Amino acid sequence: MGFLLPGFLIAGAVLAGVPLAIHLLNRRRYRVVDFAAMQFLMAAVRQNRRRLQLREWLLLAARIAAVALMGFALARPISCNSSGSGGIGGQAATLQVLVVDDTYSMGATGKNGSALGEMKKLLAGLIGKMRPGVDEVAIVRVARPVQISLAPTYDLQQALQQIEAITIRQTPGDLTGAIALATQIASGEKGVARRRMYVASDLTAGTWALAEAGRRDQLSQAVSAAAAACNAGIDIIGTTPLRSRHVALTELAVGEASGSAAGGWAGGRGMVTTNTPLAVEVTARAGAAGAAGAGGTGGTGGLSTKVEVDIEVDGKPLASGLATLKPAPDGRLTAEVPIGVLPPASGGGGHLITASLVGEDPLALDRSRSITVQIPDAVRVLVVEGDRGGDSRPSSGSFVSLALSPRAATTRPGRDPFRTESVADIALPSARLEEYGVVVLADVTPPDATTVARLDRFVRAGGLVVNLLGEHLAAAIGPAGKGRNAILSLVPGNVTQLVQAAGAGSSGDVTAGRLIDFSPTGNVHPLLGAFAGVQRTGLESTPVFKYWRVERTAAAGPGIAASLGEPVLNLLADKDGHKDPLLLAERRGNGAIITCTAPLGGEEWTTLQARPAFVPLVQELVRNALPDLSARWNILAGESVVLSRLERMVGTPTLIGPLPKTDRIEFESGPIDAASTQPTQEGGSAMTEQAGVRSAAVPVAGLYQLTGLGEARTVAVNLLAWPEADLRALEEPELRTLLAVGSPSSGGSSLRFHAATVPEVVGNGAATAGSGGRDWTMAALLFVIGLLAMESWLAQRPDL
Amino acid sequence: MATDVPETRRGVDGRVLARVGSLELRARRVMEGLLSGMHRSPYQGASIEFAQHRPYTVGDDIRHVDWKVMARRDKVYVKQYQVETNLQLQIAVDFSRSMRFSSIKGTDGQPWSKLDHAMVAAVALAYVSGMQSDSAGVWGLGLGAGPVQQLARLSAQPGHWRQVAEVLEATVAKQSDVATPSLAAGIEGLANTLARRSVVVILSDGFDDLAAVERALGHLRFRRHDVVLLQVMDPAELTFPFDRSTQFVGLETGDKVLVEPRDLKRAYLEQVAAFTGSLKRLLRGLGGDYSLLDTSGAVDVQLARLLAERMAAADGSRAGIGGGGA
């Protein structure tokens, strides 16, 4: 026996207690009458006691049964005829769990229309074969978050409606999670004799052939668990494979155009300004046509590598043309589309850049991406000098200033991406740090704690501090190494001593100092990625004579970042085996700190500033270390927009879109996550700017308007296109291999594959054919009417 | 006339007394008595109302020979006259706790119990008796002092009914809640107490063991008393009008029972009907009279109907005697 609307059954069971409650209540509510003719009354009671009790119980039972049966009737009882649950028709009640692939690859269109449309028809046909009252249906959807679209029900009509209502979702798929959830449903459903699972999908490599081996193992384990839970097996229903090529735009970046950077080394995607010749780097992935094996994962599959790309800036077409996709070892195809310097009218600030692949393709959804970027006119750099120099002696920050804005001293001012300003360290407490993007501390006198705290806030809010340690740091450490100044909290490690380098040079010359451990063909730090493979930069031959030894220990003290990355540059190990860092980088809040253990301005410390690599080294460090504050305005479908606490205080943020729609996405306040709290000097923890508000997950890609922060911002929401865009269709042998199940002949019979066909619901040796179960609703209602009539008859005849 | 008749404190309606007083209270049986009155006596002789002729027998007073008849028929007949004698009316009022039950209100808005109804009827009977120069006495049944207690001695004074009213009121005022003797015991006591033949009117609900009551009434009848049982019943006892869950508490015993009255009404009414029917048959078998006094009815109408019935019965009896002279 099953119920189409089990909620009424529960309601009936609950309400059945009402007549009993009324009965008991009435027994407590009576009036008291003094009576004289008690002898007649008592005689009447004695004579009729049994009759009255019987009548009372009959009435009560009739009322309770009527209410309970009404709930039973409204629950739409249908006999299951289950052999497993004592049915009478010889049919086994079966739970049919449908796992429906609703990832966006199902939107791919082939000869038979979209894969989703074809899948709906297949599933409608499947449900049409199910037996009312015998087959119980549940539906689970694959796209994240994995969700139960329909809890187990015998209402096949409702199941059909749910199937028809399915639309693709743009969040990544989680086939493993969906199968696990379906298994959980199958295991938890009692009262059914058989359990069967159907996985309806386009069987694309993007959904099934998971890139990581660990995830593949999890999928295999989930299928094994499902096979164990479903005694009637698992059916994998595939839609018709696509036979056309699909190229998806999977990444989009804006950077400096190749060959345009000063110094002549290969440009990167570092910081750009309105004066920077820009290029849009598009990354595409191609799902080769046909079944897997016909082409590889990614790559071009032997097809043309030319794609036509349209570029829009702030909604206006800026460039269009053919781009040549270059395959990378990891399967990505990248192409750089130069767009030049932004039009003067664009100005500095936030810009929206959209790239679209032009041409016919079976799946249009992932052919376009947008990105919001901050392109300033120039980044203002405040160089704070502890030594202002004099006469022929340069100041402590002069070389860095020159490296950041080398053209400032030439006849072509205004082309530098950095605009430097130098001040003495005594002016640091009064400087308006929020007006700068970078603060360079060039051997400054240790400032007071308040100033250090301001610097810390500056960094956490998204600024970059370049801290060049010099002789003034000795005052911070103290003569005997006792007492620590707050400035040390900006150093990602424990400053222990001033090292006079000697005897560490590759030549063994004591006066040569220690050399930088740099190899352009080795493991180059990401901040210096532009130096990878570039020979004769001079870095590897630069001696360092003096430096502050920084021991990078996690227990360095409060204020030290919990996660320290590898040093950007190390010095070669000395004779005692010390391998001290020369350059350190630390992410702190939204910003970063770069620490150089030796000042770059004094020749007694190092000769780095005289090397050809000096200018690009400084620029590359600063460009790549400058935080990309635009990142949080570029999210993926399914992610949230995170705002800082300070931003939250400006107003009530509202996310509207995807434009031109006006759907509103709400924000929820509170700490974002555990990492958003930072230790304080007092040893406690305090909310930082990271602790703020998070929007609900944005489910649909597109452009959104974020209002309520003083100025409107555009949030670009893109698809996580890869690997979902890999539309290569997998066939049964490959799927069996992936799922680690054998062929039917080798015992893998619990897994059945159906290529664009509807499997038989009845069969597989467990059930016998027959008509559906019987609907007992009318019978129950008639019984209720009979009970009510009996109750009324009894109530109207007290003498009975 | 109604305004001239004082009311009892419990609302004896003067109109009741006036209406009842217009009737003749006649005993169905000929009573012994010394006083002349309206009642027929088995003692024919010194009277002015001719009753019948009978053949002369030796020993008859020749003053009663009807010479005219002898001259016409040549046979000697003596005339007999109906002797008017006075009636001794003994009124027994049941004061048991069951008589306190009331479900209705009197004209003054106060509860009108069965005892109230019985007392008014008793006073009315005393009044009528006094108006006919018959003597009336009042007895109390079910009082704590004993099975039967004389409340008012026999008296034929016209104003005796006032004394009756006062003593009844005083008795009610003194009545306590102690357990009372049964009705049957009271009737037994009355039978043992009354020496002369009397008309004994019992005003009671009759709620007692039927067999015991039968024995007591038989004893009373054995003493050649004319027994009239006026069973006083409240309309709630007769119709059982209760409709929702009720806990009934017995006035006599304190028994409690929680019932759905609608379910028991029929059975209860059958019990009541059986009991009253038994009483009626019992009285008829004993040659007595039975009448049901519903406290919702008018006492005057009920008593008038009773007396009318008794007069009719008395007339029938006289016709049966011969309808001619003494």
Cβ of B245 within 8 Å of Cβ of A35? The answer is no
Task: Give the tokens for residue A164.
Answer: 């028809």
Interval A275-325: pLDDT, tens: 777 888 888 887 655 444 434 444 445 555 778 888 888 888 887 778 888
C-alpha B127/C-alpha A770 separation (Å) is 97
DSSP H or E segment with residue A120: helix A115-129
Residue A461 has pLDDT above 60, yes or no: yes
Task: Give the tokens for residue A538.
Answer: 């001079």
pLDDT at B13: 55
C-alpha B29/C-alpha A744 separation (Å) is 119
| A25 shares contact with chain B (CB less than 8 Å) | no
Average pLDDT score over residue span A549-559: 60
Amino acid identity of residue A17, one-letter, is G
Residue A88 has pLDDT above 60, yes or no: no
pLDDT at A538: 86
* Residues listed for chain B: 326
Residue A482 has pLDDT above 70, yes or no: no
Chains A and B: how many Cβ contacts under 8 Å? 100
| A41 shares contact with chain B (CB less than 8 Å) | yes
C-alpha A207/C-alpha A202 separation (Å) is 8
Strand partners, B229: B202, B290
SS3 of chain B: the string is: CHHHCCCCCCCCCHHHHHHHHCCCCCCCCCCCCCCCCCEEECCCCCCCEEEEEEECCCCCCHHHECHHHHHHHCCCEEEEEEEEECCEEEEEEECCHHHHCCCEECCCCCEECHHHHHHHHHHHHHHHHHHCCCEEEEEEEEECCEEEEEEEEEECCCCHHHHHHHHHHHHHHHCCCCCCCCHHHHHHHHHHHCCCCCEEEEEECCCCCHHHHHHHHHHHHHCCCEEEEEEEECHHHHHCCCCCCEEEEECCCCCEEEECHHHHHHHHHHHHHHHHHHHHHHHHHCCCEEEEEECCCCHHHHHHHHHHHHHHHHHHHHHHHCCCCC
Closest chain A residue to the Cα of B248, Cα to Cα: A33
Q: Nearest Cβ partner of A798 from B245, B253, B263?
A: B263
Contacts of B247 in chain A (CB under 8 A): 30-33
Residue A673 has pLDDT above 70, yes or no: no
Counting residues of chain B whose pLDDT is more than 90, the rounded percentage is 21
Contacts of A24 in chain B (CB under 8 A): none
Interval B230-267: pLDDT, tens: 999 999 999 999 888 889 998 887 888 888 888 888 89
Distances (CA, A) of B126 to B40, B98, B217, B280: 20, 24, 22, 24
pLDDT at A610: 86
Angle formed at CA A748 by CA A742 and CA A753, multiple of 5 degrees: 95
Angle of helix B299-321 relative to helix B14-21, nearest 10 degrees? 10
Angle formed at CA A736 by CA A732 and CA A737, multiple of 5 degrees: 120
pLDDT at A350: 79
Question: By C-alpha distance, which of B148, B150, B225 is closest to B187?
Answer: B148
Cβ of B247 within 8 Å of Cβ of A30? The answer is yes
Residue A475 has pLDDT above 90, yes or no: no
pLDDT at A692: 66
C-alpha A528/C-alpha A567 separation (Å) is 11
- Listed in order, strand segments (DSSP E) in A101-162 are 109-110, 113-114, 135-141, 147-153
**Residue A713: band (very low, low, confident or very high) from pLDDT cuts 50, 70, 90:** confident
Distances (CA, A) of A448 to A21, A425, A561, A749: 77, 11, 21, 75
Cβ of A31 within 8 Å of Cβ of B247? The answer is yes
Question: For chain A, what is the mean pLDDT?
Answer: 79
C-alpha A686/C-alpha A677 separation (Å) is 6
Angle of helix A38-74 relative to helix B261-285, nearest 10 degrees? 160
Residue A157 has pLDDT above 80, yes or no: yes
Contacts of B99 in chain A (CB under 8 A): 36
For residue B292, what are the contacts with CB-CB under 8 A and spacing of at least 6? Answer: B230, B231, B233, B276
Q: How far is CA B178 from the centre of its chain?
A: 27
**Residue A685: band (very low, low, confident or very high) from pLDDT cuts 50, 70, 90:** very low
Cβ of B248 within 8 Å of Cβ of A47? The answer is no
Question: For chain B, what is the mean pLDDT?
Answer: 77
Cβ of A45 within 8 Å of Cβ of B246? The answer is no
C-alpha B142/C-alpha A407 separation (Å) is 134
Task: Give the tokens for residue A302.
Answer: 């032997």
Q: Nearest Cβ partner of A44 from B205, B234, B264?
A: B264
Question: By C-alpha distance, which of A61, A121, A60, A132 is closest to A94?
Answer: A132
Is A480 in a helix, a strand, or coil? coil
pLDDT at B30: 29
C-alpha A726/C-alpha A193 separation (Å) is 39
Tokens 């009965």 map to which residue? A23
**Residue A664: band (very low, low, confident or very high) from pLDDT cuts 50, 70, 90:** confident
Q: Nearest Cβ partner of B249 from A34, A47, A48?
A: A34
Average pLDDT score over residue span A680-706: 66
Closest chain B residue to the Cα of A34, Cα to Cα: B249
Average pLDDT score over residue span B270-277: 93
| A50 shares contact with chain B (CB less than 8 Å) | no
Residue B27 has pLDDT above 50, yes or no: no
Q: Nearest Cβ partner of A40 from B252, B253, B271?
A: B271
**Residue A440: band (very low, low, confident or very high) from pLDDT cuts 50, 70, 90:** very high
Counting residues of chain B whose pLDDT is more than 70, the rounded percentage is 77
pLDDT at A413: 52
pLDDT at A774: 65
DSSP H or E segment with residue A404: helix A398-404
Distances (CA, A) of A506 to A503, A540, B36: 8, 10, 170
Residue A239 has pLDDT above 80, yes or no: yes
Contacts of B97 in chain A (CB under 8 A): 36
Cβ of B101 within 8 Å of Cβ of A45? The answer is no
| Best residue in B114, B117, B259, B294 for a mutation probing chain A (most A CBs within 10 Å) | B259
Rounded to a whole number of angstroms, the distance from the CA of A41 to the nearest CA of chain B is 6
Contacts of A54 in chain B (CB under 8 A): none
| A24 shares contact with chain B (CB less than 8 Å) | no
Contacts of A799 in chain B (CB under 8 A): 263, 265-267
pLDDT at B25: 37
pLDDT at A504: 47
- Dihedral sign of CA atoms A605, A607, A608, A610 in order: positive
Closest chain B residue to the Cα of A795, Cα to Cα: B263
Rounded to a whole number of angstroms, the distance from the CA of A25 to the nearest CA of chain B is 11
Closest chain B residue to the Cα of A54, Cα to Cα: B263
Rounded to a whole number of angstroms, the distance from the CA of A50 to the nearest CA of chain B is 12
- Dihedral sign of CA atoms A550, A554, A557, A560 in order: positive
**Regarding beta strands A194-201 and A234-238, do their DSSP bridges make them parallel or antiparallel, or are they unpaired?**
parallel
Rounded to a whole number of angstroms, the distance from the CA of A58 to the nearest CA of chain B is 14
| Best residue in A32, A40, A56 for a mutation probing chain B (most B CBs within 10 Å) | A40
C-alpha B238/C-alpha B293 separation (Å) is 11
> B5, B18 in Cβ contact below 8 A?
yes
> A256, A278 in Cβ contact below 8 A?
yes
> A548, A597 in Cβ contact below 8 A?
yes
C-alpha A224/C-alpha A741 separation (Å) is 8
pLDDT at A556: 42
Interval B277-296: pLDDT, tens: 999 999 989 888 899 999 98
| A48 shares contact with chain B (CB less than 8 Å) | yes
Query: Which ipTM did the prediction report?
Result: 0.75
CB-neighbour burial class of residue A58 (10 A; exposed 0-12, middle 13-18, buried 19+): middle
Supply φ then ψ for residue B247, to 5 degrees.
-100, 115
> Which residue would you say has higher pLDDT here, B80 or A443?
A443
Tokens 């590897």 map to which residue? A540
Q: Nearest Cβ partner of A37 from B237, B249, B262?
A: B237
C-alpha A748/C-alpha A116 separation (Å) is 28
pLDDT at B6: 36
C-alpha A522/C-alpha A544 separation (Å) is 21
Cβ of A40 within 8 Å of Cβ of B268? The answer is yes
Question: By C-alpha distance, which of A258, A250, A299 is closest to A279?
Answer: A258
C-alpha A443/C-alpha A422 separation (Å) is 13
Amino acid identity of residue A598, one-letter, is A
For residue A663, what are the contacts with CB-CB under 8 A and spacing of at least 6? Answer: A656, A657
- If one counts every other C-beta atom within 10 angstroms of the C-beta of residue A313, the result is 21
Q: Nearest Cβ partner of A33 from B207, B246, B275?
A: B246
Torsion of CA A351, A357, A361, A366, to 10 degrees: -30
Rounded to a whole number of angstroms, the distance from the CA of B297 to the nearest CA of chain A is 19
> Which residue would you say has higher pLDDT here, A643 or A3?
A643
SS3 of A523-589: the string is: CCCHHHHHHCCCCCCCHHHCEECEEEEEECCCCCCCCCCCCCCCCCEEECCCCCCCCCEEEEEEEEC
Adjacency order of strands within the sheet including A147-153: A147-153, A135-141, A94-100, A194-201, A234-238, A751-755
Strand partners, A596: A468, A583
Interval A763-779: pLDDT, tens: 543 333 344 456 778 88
Closest chain A residue to the Cα of B206, Cα to Cα: A37
Residue A91 has pLDDT above 80, yes or no: no
A429 secondary structure, DSSP code: G
Peptide bond into A567 cis (omega under 30): no
A75 secondary structure, DSSP code: T
A686 secondary structure, DSSP code: E
Q: Nearest Cβ partner of B267 from A29, A31, A44?
A: A44
Contacts of B267 in chain A (CB under 8 A): 44, 47-48, 799
Cβ of B260 within 8 Å of Cβ of A35? The answer is no
Contacts of A29 in chain B (CB under 8 A): 245
A753 secondary structure, DSSP code: E
| A345 shares contact with chain B (CB less than 8 Å) | no
Cβ of B246 within 8 Å of Cβ of A40? The answer is no
Task: Give the tokens for residue A29.
Answer: 């509510």
Cβ of A36 within 8 Å of Cβ of B249? The answer is no
Cβ of A30 within 8 Å of Cβ of B244? The answer is yes
Contacts of A37 in chain B (CB under 8 A): 98, 101, 205, 207, 237, 268, 272
> Which residue would you say has higher pLDDT here, A164 or B161?
A164
pLDDT at A561: 40
Contacts of B266 in chain A (CB under 8 A): 798-799
A445 secondary structure, DSSP code: P
Residues of B with CB under 8 A from a CB of A: 97-101, 114, 205, 207, 234, 237, 242, 244-253, 255, 257-260, 262-268, 270-272, 275
Question: By C-alpha distance, which of A633, A705, A696, A632 is closest to A662?
Answer: A705
| A795 shares contact with chain B (CB less than 8 Å) | no
- Per DSSP, chain A holds a count of helices (H) and strands (E) of 15, 40
Tokens 């088995």 map to which residue? B42
